[in-house]
Amino acid sequence: MSRPGPISAKYSNSLLFVLGLFLRLINKVRHLLMGYTSPRPATKIRDFARDAAYTLTVVRNWEHALREYSGEASPFRGKHVLELGPGPDLGTGIVILALGAASFTAIDKYRLISGRSTGFYQALFGRLRDFPDAHKARQAWYQFQRNRSCAIFSYLHSPAFRLKERLRRKYDLLVSQAVLEHIDDIEVIFTVIKAKLGNNACMVHEVDLGTHTRWLRDADPLNLLRYPQGIYNLLKFSGAPNRLRMSDYHTILQKSGYRNIRAVPLTRVEDAYLQRVNPALAGRFRGYSAEDLAVRSFHLLAGKGRE
């Protein structure tokens, strides 16, 4: 699926290069002063119904991808689920429990959940009335709210993202939404987390490969690929995209020993846009195939297998 064409045709590659530099400099200064505080635009606007709908869509997309991958009609049921980087709330975990998961654990490098209003959770529970384990999910959430502890619902904050030390059990399913692209040492993460997955465990991640900077996200989605590594590193900050492409994730999982790896493109840039910007990309990216560069977001699935 291709998104509507970007408006970059109105601007030269040189101008988009300079605009990207300017906006990245602003972003770096903002992150140096304020830290990482805004995981997604929806959290800025108190539209609880919209945010609840978004959360439900995220989990339903994972569910659909897992059904296609594993053939299980209810891929969350009875599973111990781990989410990397839940962001501003734990809504995904509530939905996953309501779909029958045995437990849900989230771990994040940034503590972002404290600012989420109860209005969001009320809106979300309103959408879960007909889910098979909605009552269990509600009770687990209330216990977590009271005690910051619940046997089947937990949240871990680890600024150094120390998965090996913080994760105490084996998990059946690993999920994430627009997180992997923000991890620099992705090879290390996949290697460490493999030891925390049970036999026959699997994973599903939605990965966003486009430029994350506002305005440029739609105007010039491959803007982040225009810069040589030296320039990009100068303007980089914690949480900035790692610029890996879909084929890179596939290769890393293979080297880490995962099995049945599947990468499913979700959205692509238009061919005309790619042809226009390809000559202006940094040298390392011009070596990728047009098909690989065109992928803007995709689902990444893999299994651990039995040891």
What is the per-residue pLDDT across 44-78, written as a single tens digit (0 to 9) for each?
A: 446 899 999 999 999 999 999 999 999 999 999 99
Task: Locate 98 and state its tokens.
Answer: 């309501």
Q: Please give the angle made by the CA atoms of 76, 131 and 56, to the nearest 5 degrees.
A: 70
180: left (phi over 0), alpha (psi -120 to 50) or beta: alpha
In a domain, 23, yes or no: yes
Which pTM value belongs to this model?
0.92
Can you tell me the mean pLDDT for 195-212? 95
- Tens-place pLDDT, residues 96-142: 999 999 999 999 998 888 767 889 999 999 999 999 999 999 999 99
Q: Please give the angle made by the CA atoms of 130, 82 and 182, to the nearest 5 degrees.
A: 115
Number of domains in the chain: 1
In a domain, 126, yes or no: yes
In a domain, 1, yes or no: no
In a domain, 2, yes or no: no
Contact 90, 81 (CB under 8 A): no
Contact 98, 65 (CB under 8 A): no
| Residue 52 CB contacts under 8 Å (≥ 6 apart), including other chains | 91, 120, 123, 124, 126, 127
Among residues 82, 240, 238, the alpha carbon closest in space to that of 160 is found at 238
Which residues lie across from 104 on neighbouring strands?
81, 153
CATH code of residue 118: 3.40.50.150
Among residues 92, 104, 103, the alpha carbon closest in space to that of 58 is found at 92
3-state secondary structure of 110: coil
In a domain, 54, yes or no: yes
Q: Please give the angle made by the CA atoms of 45, 47 and 51, to the nearest 5 degrees.
A: 100
Identify the top-confidence range among 64-68, 143-147, 196-200: 64-68
Q: How many CB atoms lie under 10 A from the CB of residue 120?
A: 22
Strand bridging mode 171-177 / 197-208:
parallel
In a domain, 296, yes or no: yes
- Using the structure block, give the residue that is written with the tokens 């493109």: 265
- Rounded CA separation 238/274 (Å): 28
Structural domain range at position 137: 7-303
In a domain, 106, yes or no: yes
In a domain, 158, yes or no: yes
